[in-house]
Amino acid sequence: MDFFEAQARAKQRTGRLVALFMVAVIGTILGGYFATIFLLAYSPTRTSRHRYYQSSNIETTPVQLWQPQVFLTVTVGTLLVVGIASLVKWQEFSAGGSAVAESVGGRPINPHTTDLRERRLLNVVEEMAIASGIPMPAVYVLDQEPAINAFAAGLTTSDAVVTVTRGTLDKLTRDELQGVIGHEFSHILNGDMRLNLQLSALLFGILVIGLAGRGILWAMTRGRIRGDGKNSGGAVIAIAAVGLALLILGYVGYFFGKLIQAAVSRQREYLADASSVQFTRNPGGITGALKKIGGFALGSSLESNKSSTIGHFFFAQAFESSFGGLWATHPTLDSRIRAIDPQFDGKMFDPPEVVDVSQESFAKAGFAPGALDHSTLKRPAAPRPSPVAIIATIGTLAPANIAHAETLLASVPPRLRDAARSPTESAILLYGLLLDGNETMRERQRSLVATKAGAESRRLLGELEPALGSLGPEHKLPLLQLAVPALRNLPPASLVPFLDTLDELVHADGKVSTFEFALQKLLTRSLALGEKPGAAVVQVYSFNAVANEISVVLSALAYTASNGGLDAAGAFAAGADQLKLLEGKLALLPPAASDFVRLDAALDKLANASGPIKQRLLFASAHVVGADGTILIAEAELLRAIAAALDCPMPPLLAAA
């Protein structure tokens, strides 16, 4: 299943889940309606239109099952409560993955940490981020949780976070840790994160009804609701009955909502396990982690109840399942292991009496970049450039890409990797990536940095320059991916001047290269979605509505690809042939009509297009750059920038030359 199919299925599942939850809401409405009819029929009344009670003589009104006014009132009231509560919860989640991680007590890992286990975790996440083509997720740890567990959260790949427990850091080997992180990256790439957040918001909306009933009953037990007068007993009884009815109805709806949530979650866990094995080509990694969960006494159970509302996010069952496993958010450990290893004998990990971690060497423990031993694995060779193969890499984690990411990161000077993790130095690093090869222009750019960003920035830039000189073009965009989390931490007062300085460095020589455009586009899109992940919405469903924008994209790529030996018209035609729905409506535009300014505007509009439009556009774009059978670095950079602008993460192209 490719990236676009996974995204489409995630949307289909969302639609089905909303329908199922609406069934639960309808059941709640019907239950509320009949409860209201009962209360009206058998509770005391005082109006002249009904019989009323005096002293201790209580009479009731006749039961009339169908009362449209009551039904309308209950329906509107229920929908308002559920809808408002769900929207409030969704608004909380719209702040992004970091808000979710921090709400359950997650601590962001310092990118410059000296803790060897945290350093190992960061290395694994960095490798997978580079290999998959997404910005480096923020990484959190639940310090007070000694069990083995982890989760990914966020609305888009640009605001995703990966959170692990302290037990995961302390108890897993690097292979096992990579298996767990591969599982979480599957959730990031397959659209599961957004689905999980939607599930939680809908479920909370139903739960609020029960919480309201519980609140009424709690207030009565504390004496905060009292009768006033000698005939107030009936009113108190009525209030108590309302509270009890709300409590029962809310929790009945919640019960069935949890059943739906658990059933969906269990299916996604099997897929994520399989994806992890596919990513790492190391079944022993994830099965080893699962066996350790089964072997340690704490397993994957969390001690804090802060995470109870997002239990379905986690790598393994985080809380004890109620109702005989009906609410279990994950399949059993045994079934998950057997799905990967049919020969599993049922024996879990046997933990030692005392765990002595001090005897592991730095390399053996896997703290160094690229410490995973791939020597026994058959690595696929870099394939010949193929448009189909290029698009197939979107949203995936192939073993060859992971190996390539390890090699890339290992060859980046440590000083630059440290700079990419620092909010202050990451900005200077990006200035350095834009330094021109011509010394005169380079000196002009240095002066510009000193003028715009200050003397200290100029000094830091000079400190980084020797290491920057050893970089190849293939290292630059991966370094940007690593720097995104640090850049997100820049205060707004510093972010705007930074982006302005970056723009002046790009235009210092009066022209914009493909790398400069790619860097700016990748950065601005990642920062925008990281700040407002809820802004990624679909507004365009018609190919005809964006025909002109598609012409701009294919034309810009064609002029870049024509340097590879094929004229621009031929390259454009190779891409346009892949868009049969727009046959006769696409035309190669002049260079002035498809420059980077117009390309930027076109991509902003196309970012709101539907999945099928993005998929066909990227497929056509890949045919443009691959028309001559060779993909140059400039072509690869521009294609990756276009994919990132469309929120389709593309890994580095291994065949780019």
**Co-location of 450 and 563 in the same domain:** no
Q: What average pLDDT does the segment 366-376 reach?
A: 41
pLDDT at 57 > cutoff 90: no
**Co-location of 563 and 420 in the same domain:** no
Please report which helix (H) or strand (E) contains residue 388, including its range: helix 387-392
DSSP secondary structure code for residue 61 in this structure: P
The answer to whether residue 222 sits within a structural domain is yes
Nearest to 592 by CA among 641, 550, 631, 559: 559
The answer to whether residue 183 sits within a structural domain is yes
Looking at per-residue pLDDT, the higher value among 326 and 347 belongs to 347
**Co-location of 653 and 552 in the same domain:** yes
Domain boundary among 476, 509, 542: 509
Beta strands at 138-142 and 107-108: parallel, antiparallel or unpaired: antiparallel
Please give the Cα distance from 650 to 518 (Å, whole number).
13
The answer to whether residue 356 sits within a structural domain is no
pLDDT reported for residue 354: 47
CATH code of the domain in which 122 resides = 3.30.2010.10
Give the structural domain span for 446.
413-509
Phi, psi for 54 (deg, rounded to 5): -130, 140
Per residue in 277-300, pLDDT (tens digit) is 888 888 999 999 999 999 988 888
**Co-location of 330 and 445 in the same domain:** no
pLDDT reported for residue 14: 60
Looking at every residue in the chain, the average pLDDT score rounds to: 81
Per residue in 162-213, pLDDT (tens digit) is 999 999 999 999 999 999 999 999 888 887 888 778 778 877 887 788 777 7
The share of the chain scoring above pLDDT 70, in percent, equals: 81
The share of the chain scoring above pLDDT 90, in percent, equals: 31
**Co-location of 540 and 422 in the same domain:** no
**Co-location of 54 and 88 in the same domain:** yes
Helix then strand count (H, E) for the chain reads 25, 4
**Co-location of 228 and 169 in the same domain:** no
Nearest to 180 by CA among 315, 364, 317: 315
Question: Which residue is listed with tokens 């000193």?
Answer: 450
Q: Respond yes or no: is residue 126 known to be catalytic.
A: no
Q: DSSP characters for 282-318?
A: -HHHHHHHHHHHHHSSSTT--S-GGGGGGGGGBSS--
Task: Identify the band that residue 268 occupies on the pLDDT scale cut at 50, 70 and 90.
Answer: confident
Task: Identify the band that residue 364 occupies on the pLDDT scale cut at 50, 70 and 90.
Answer: very low
**Co-location of 244 and 332 in the same domain:** no
Confirm if 82 and 209 have CB atoms less than 8 A apart: yes
Q: What average pLDDT does the segment 445-472 reach?
A: 92
Domain boundary among 258, 282, 309: 258
**Co-location of 217 and 250 in the same domain:** yes
Helices (H), 138-232: 166-171, 174-189, 192-221
Q: Which of 123-127, 134-138, 258-262, 630-634 comes out lowest in average pLDDT?
A: 258-262
Confirm if 568 and 588 have CB atoms less than 8 A apart: yes
**Co-location of 496 and 555 in the same domain:** no
The total of other beta-carbon atoms located within 10 Å of residue 349's CB is 16
The total number of structural domains that make up the chain = 4
Domain boundary among 453, 487, 509: 509
Two tokens at 17? 């889940």
Task: Identify the band that residue 655 occupies on the pLDDT scale cut at 50, 70 and 90.
Answer: low
The answer to whether residue 385 sits within a structural domain is no
The answer to whether residue 162 sits within a structural domain is yes
The answer to whether residue 352 sits within a structural domain is no
Q: Which of 184, 269, 406, 549 is catalytic?
A: 184
The total of other beta-carbon atoms located within 10 Å of residue 296's CB is 19
**Co-location of 477 and 600 in the same domain:** no
The answer to whether residue 370 sits within a structural domain is no
The answer to whether residue 330 sits within a structural domain is yes
**Co-location of 182 and 324 in the same domain:** yes
